[in-house]
Every structure is written in structure tokens, then in C-alpha cells.
Amino acid sequence: MKKVYFIIIFLSIIIHSNAYIFSIKTDKPQYRRYDVVTVICELKQKSKFSVQFSNNNEQFEKARASYIFSIYYNNKIVKTIGNLNKIEMRYIPSLDKWVGKWPIPWNPNLGTYKVIAILKIGNKKFAGNTSFIVNGRTPPILPKGFCIMDIEPGDSIIKRVPGVSGRTVKIWENYLLWAKFMGANALWHCVGQTQIWNNFDSENFPWDKITLNQIKPLATECHKYNIKYGAYILGYVLLGNRHDLSPYELTTGYDKENDALKKLIYISIYDQKRQEDIIKILQYLDKIPEIDFLGLDYMRTDFGGYEYVEEFVSDMPILDLPPKWEEYTKEEKMLWLAHKLELEKNPVIEEMWQWWRAHKMSIIINEIKIKSNISKPFWIFNLTWKQGKEHGQDPFMFIDAGVDINGGMFYSIDKKTYPYMIETWQHYLKHFPTSLVAGQCVDWNLLGRTYEPSGPEEHFLRQKYLVDKLLPVNPSLGLFWHDLTRAFKSTRGPYSALEWAIGGAASFTYLRQKQDYFPFEVKWDCPDRVKKDEIFTIEINIKNTSPITNEFYIKLIQAINLEMFGDLTQKFNLSPSEVKTINFQIKVMQKEVKKGNKQLIAFLLQYGNLDTQQRYFDFKYITVE
């Protein structure tokens, strides 16, 4: 602390000992975490006499001046992106000012920062200091036990939950039946994908009308069961095989094999028509009273974005630009950046590029949020490896831009690396918590094609590990199960949609247990191994831990390949501290080699007024000999 005060006093002496006024300021007094801080300095004479420079050429001397600044927080120097603790400033003749830019570091401390600048011009030295504030936006807190089932367009491949009886339902009502079965608080529905297959269909571009027409009836039906409804669209990606027919400008990537630029399926975030179309659909959706949440996916540039090279270079403190940079063509500049990132893998440029794209996407999200003027809670799906930085994302930047919920996609990673990724998130969230809904994908391939544990069990174990590690540092935590359509595709592997749903529902239960959501305790006993055609017993004990008498409903889930005896559903009341023991008898009829001779045993429990989100699930895979 004494060191910084000494520097400030020393710099004040330097300033007042000269015949000039040296001023320093930032372009605004307060910033968000996605901002670039612009530092502006000016040198003017104190008196009416002309400023005398050694060669009587003021602009020449100013252009040759050495000018740096550093940023301090709590009297300690702060390194910014690219591991820089000093930023060189550039003289702008048209402004007669020096300008330097400081990107706010990833996940920074919030509060007041001090700028200390030193200018050497000729044989003179000038110095000054100023300060600015970095603020972070606080998102709304999630309710306890907040869990979501989501669905990408599925339509006719989605079948009803096994065992559901009653009237015939419309196709979209099957979505609701699965959300209700799993005990989800909300159903998040992808209602907008922009795609061009074979020809351009202006009637369904940029958004498919069939899906949009499902919103009101599906949302209305959800509300009957106290399930919230969220609608989301895919932002900057174009699906299909005829990108040449698109009215949008695609982002530019790099082809290593041919050392050439190429277009990707991602839409350039510079494309104003795309931004306008996203704003229009959000405005339309926001006016539908049955919608409770709005969301965006694919708010990233993936590994493209080279068309932004000039703005990137202008904003970031890059030290090793090639000579005569301004004479490069746009294509040459893009190739220079591609070589730095994809051939040389320059770590400094790489970090600056990752930060700048997250910064730019945050600005665009903020523009979309403000221009659409949406009033409903707003979420964005984030990639999670390195918090999405490699793809131009950062959860805290997005929160500051106006996002209310980070939808973290904790998938597409192998079993060995998964714990490390969660630990990096634990460290990330210790600094500042957020409102995070963490998802795991229904995809046997992404989960390692595992039999031991089974695919649905691996799904559950990953979510359990996440809850154990992140909930203590981030209490505003929810889960999502992604997605219902995949539970009916080849991605499900040898397991049924019901098995995947039970695994996801059990992860919902685990989160709610850890958040002290349930007014009861459950313990059960089930053998680890049984013989085919052998009748065995499972025992379930339920204790009412609430101060009032509660009504309970328990159901043994009739999974495929099981013969069950007696009444599979029971209703009963429990007074405070009362315990009830229930036994079920079961027989496994076949050994399923395609599942590694494993058999699912599962049950669900409801209590109170039997609201769908009050469901409790547990399951176990046993070995069949």
C-alpha cells in the first residue's frame, strides 16, 4: 500500500514541476465485466507560451513519445488479457491525445480500480492517475430444486410415457407427459431453427411455423400441471445443405489443408439482418402470455469470426503486429490472424481472441435484449469447457449483458476429464456465484458408450458430481436434461427412453435432496445381483420428517423385462416422524446382453398435493446372472 501511495505522490511532483497540464481520464466512469476500458491522456501548456519541443515539431515529438499505463486494484497491479501488466498508448494526431485500451480480465474483482500513467516525451516526464469502477450485474435467484426437461424439435418420433393411460394425445402433448413424469419444474422448447434444405422456403424462413404454432397449446397444457414453459431459438447458426441460398452472411473460418479462408455454418455476428430477425422473434414470443421464459442457443462464433480481425486489432493491446499492417488487404489480415491462432497457436493472441469474441458477443446480446425489450426471464446456453472461452463465450460477461440464467452444457467431454472441468467451474464460481442451470446430454456416445455404469447411470453420476462440487459455492443452481428427442434416436444406445428419463429424474431428486427440498427421508434395499427368473424382494422405508401429517403415493416403475407381483402402487398417510416399510417382489425374465446383463429397478414417490415437481425418484442397475 505504501508503495502505491509513494508512486502517486512522486507522480504529482513530476506533474507540478513542469509547465504543462497533463490530464488523464477513462471513457466512462463505470464498466461491466465484458467492457474494454479506454484510457485517454492529453498534454497542454499551463500558460500562453508555446510548448517547446526539441525539434520544434510538436506532433512529431508526441508521436515518438513513450507512454504506458498500469491498472491497480487494492494497491496491487492487475494483469490483463495476454498476461500484460503495462499497456502502451498510441498518439492520435487528429485528437491530439494518447489513447490506450485495457480489456477487463476474466472474472475480475468488482470495485474501484486505479489507473497510473507515465509519459516520456523528449527529455520530459509527465504522469497522472485516475480511477474507474467495475460493476457486475446480479441475476435473479433460482427457486430451490429448479429442474428442466428440454426438447429440440421431435414431433412424431416422441412416443408416450409407458404406462400412461387415458385419452389419445396430440404429438406435442407427449412432450408434456414426459416433463410431468420426470417431475420437471419447466419444459424448455426449441421453437426456432433457421434451416435451408434443398430449396428456400420463404413461408418457413427464418422460423418454422409448425413449431411456433405448438407454443400456445403446449404452454397452456404445461400450466395445468404447474409446469413453466420456456421457448428458445437458435441464434447464429444456419442448418441445412443450401447455405448458398441464405440471405445471411456466414462467418469466416480457416482451412488448414489448403491455407485458405472458408465459410462456416455459423452466421456472422456482424450480420444486421440476423440480429433484426432475432429481435423480431423475441418481441413476438415475449407478447405470448403463456410463455414463462425466453432463451437463445448458438450465441457463439464457434471457430470462425476472422471477418472481425480489424476491430479485434483496434480493441486489443497486440504488441507484435506485422510492419505496414495498414497496407494489408482484408484477406491478408484474416489469414495473419488464422495463422497466429491455428498454425502458430500463439497463446497471447489466442487469449486475446477468445476474450474479444466473448466481449463482442456480450455487446450483441445486450443490444438484442435492449432493442427487443423483452420482459420475461432470459437464458442462454453456454458451452462449458473453459467456460466457453474457446468459442467466444463467458458466463459472467453474458450475465452482465442481460442474461438471467446461464444454461451450462456440461457434455461432450470424456469421463476422465469431466471432474477437472467441474473443478475449474468450482474455482470460477467461488469468486462470484451466478444463476446456473447445468445440463447433461442424453447421448450414450458422448457418455463413453459405457455399460458399467450404464448410460443412464453415468448421466446421473455426472450430474451428482456437479451438484456436490458446485452447489456449496453456487447456491442458485438448477439442472436440465437434454433432450427428449435424443432419448428416441440412436443416441440413446441400448437403453430405452424411459431409462434415460429415470436417470435424469433421479438427478433432479438428488439436487432437491441437497437443497433440503423434501420433507421426508427414503432408504431402500435392493440386491446387487440376481438370477434370471428368480423372485426377489426390494424394501423401501419412508420417514416423514415434516411437522405435519402428509399423504404419500409410491409406484414401482414397470420397466421392460420385469415381472412384478402384487400392487405396484400404494397410497398412505404418515404422521410426523412416522416410518413406513413397503416391499415389492420382482422377477427378471431375461438376461439382456446388449446392456451388459444389467437390469433397471426404479420407483417414484410423491407427497402432499401431488404436484409434479414434488416427485422423488431412485433407481439401481443390478446384474442378472
- For position 222, what pLDDT does the model report? 97
Contact predicate 260/217, CB 8 Å: no
Domain ranges across the chain: 2-134, 147-241+269-304+376-409, 520-624
For residue 251, the surrounding DSSP H or E stretch is: strand 250-255
- For position 25, what pLDDT does the model report? 97
- For position 51, what pLDDT does the model report? 47
Model pLDDT for residues 467-512, shown as the tens digit of each residue = 999 999 999 999 999 999 999 999 999 999 999 999 999 999 999 9
Region 194-201: what's the mean pLDDT?
94
> What is the spatial distance between Cα 333 and Cα 330, in angstroms, rounded to a whole number?
5
Q: Are strands 36-45 and 147-151 parallel, antiparallel or unpaired?
A: unpaired
Contact predicate 353/394, CB 8 Å: no
Model pLDDT for residues 516-530, shown as the tens digit of each residue = 999 999 999 999 999
Region 136-141: what's the mean pLDDT?
97
**Comparing 371 with 166, which gets the higher pLDDT?**
371
- For position 17, what pLDDT does the model report? 45
Does residue 320 have a pLDDT over 70?
Answer: yes
Kindly give, in sequence order, each residue whose CB lies less than 8 Å from that of residue 70, ignoring residues fewer than 6 positions away.
Answer: 77, 78, 85, 86, 87, 115, 116, 117
Region 172-181: what's the mean pLDDT?
96
- For position 5, what pLDDT does the model report? 47
Please report which confidence band the pLDDT of residue 606 belongs to, taking 50, 70 and 90 as the band edges.
very high
The type of residue at 404 is: D
pTM across the whole model: 0.93
Torsion angle of the four alpha carbons 23, 28, 30, 33, in this order, in degrees rounded to the nearest 10: -110
Contact predicate 492/421, CB 8 Å: no
Torsion angle of the four alpha carbons 282, 288, 290, 292, in this order, in degrees rounded to the nearest 10: 30
Estimate to the nearest angstrom the gap between the alpha carbon of 36 and the chain centroid: 22
Work out the percent of the chain whose per-residue pLDDT is above 90. 86
Region 593-620: what's the mean pLDDT?
92
The type of residue at 559 is: A
Please report which confidence band the pLDDT of residue 58 belongs to, taking 50, 70 and 90 as the band edges.
low
Does residue 13 have a pLDDT over 50?
Answer: no
Contact predicate 328/336, CB 8 Å: yes
Q: Alpha helices, DSSP H only, in 17-71?
A: 58-64
Selecting from 3.40.50.720, 2.60.40.1930, 3.30.70.260, 3.60.15.10, what CATH number does the domain 2-134 have? 2.60.40.1930
- For position 9, what pLDDT does the model report? 45
- For position 59, what pLDDT does the model report? 65
- For position 568, what pLDDT does the model report? 92
> What is the spatial distance between Cα 514 and Cα 471, in angstroms, rounded to a whole number?
8
CA separation, residue 542 to residues 135, 278, 442, 518, 546 (Å): 48, 49, 30, 12, 12
125: phi then psi, degrees, rounded to nearest 5:
-125, 140
> What is the spatial distance between Cα 405 and Cα 382, in angstroms, rounded to a whole number?
10
Angle formed by the axes of helices 455-470 and 497-514, nearest 10°: 20
Please report which confidence band the pLDDT of residue 47 belongs to, taking 50, 70 and 90 as the band edges.
low
Question: What's the CATH number for 520-624?
Answer: 2.60.40.10
Kindly give, in sequence order, each residue whose CB lies less than 8 Å from that of residue 464, ignoring residues fewer than 6 positions away.
Answer: 507, 510
- For position 57, what pLDDT does the model report? 65
Question: The sheet that has 579-588: what strands, in order across it?
Answer: 520-525, 535-544, 579-588, 562-565
Beta bridge partners of 617: 604
- Least reliable range by pLDDT among 16-25, 314-323, 372-381: 16-25
Region 161-177: what's the mean pLDDT?
89
Does residue 16 have a pLDDT over 80?
Answer: no
Please report which confidence band the pLDDT of residue 65 belongs to, taking 50, 70 and 90 as the band edges.
confident
Please report which confidence band the pLDDT of residue 155 belongs to, taking 50, 70 and 90 as the band edges.
confident
Work out the percent of the chain whose per-residue pLDDT is above 70. 95
> What is the spatial distance between Cα 442 and Cα 493, in angstroms, rounded to a whole number?
10
Beta bridge partners of 127: 118
- Give me the residue label for grid cell 445443405: 241
The type of residue at 374 is: I
Torsion angle of the four alpha carbons 80, 82, 88, 94, in this order, in degrees rounded to the nearest 10: -90
- For position 60, what pLDDT does the model report? 65
> What is the spatial distance between Cα 197 and Cα 245, in angstroms, rounded to a whole number?
10
Cis peptide before 483, with omega less than 30 degrees from 0? Answer: yes
Q: Which of 572, 521, 523, 583 is nearest to 550 (CA)?
A: 572
Mean pLDDT, the chain, rounded, equals 93
Determine the Cα angle at 34 with ends 32 and 36, to 5°.
90
Q: Give yes or no on whether 2-134 and 520-624 have one common fold.
A: yes
> What is the spatial distance between Cα 77 and Cα 71, in angstroms, rounded to a whole number?
6
> What is the spatial distance between Cα 541 and Cα 603, in angstroms, rounded to a whole number?
12
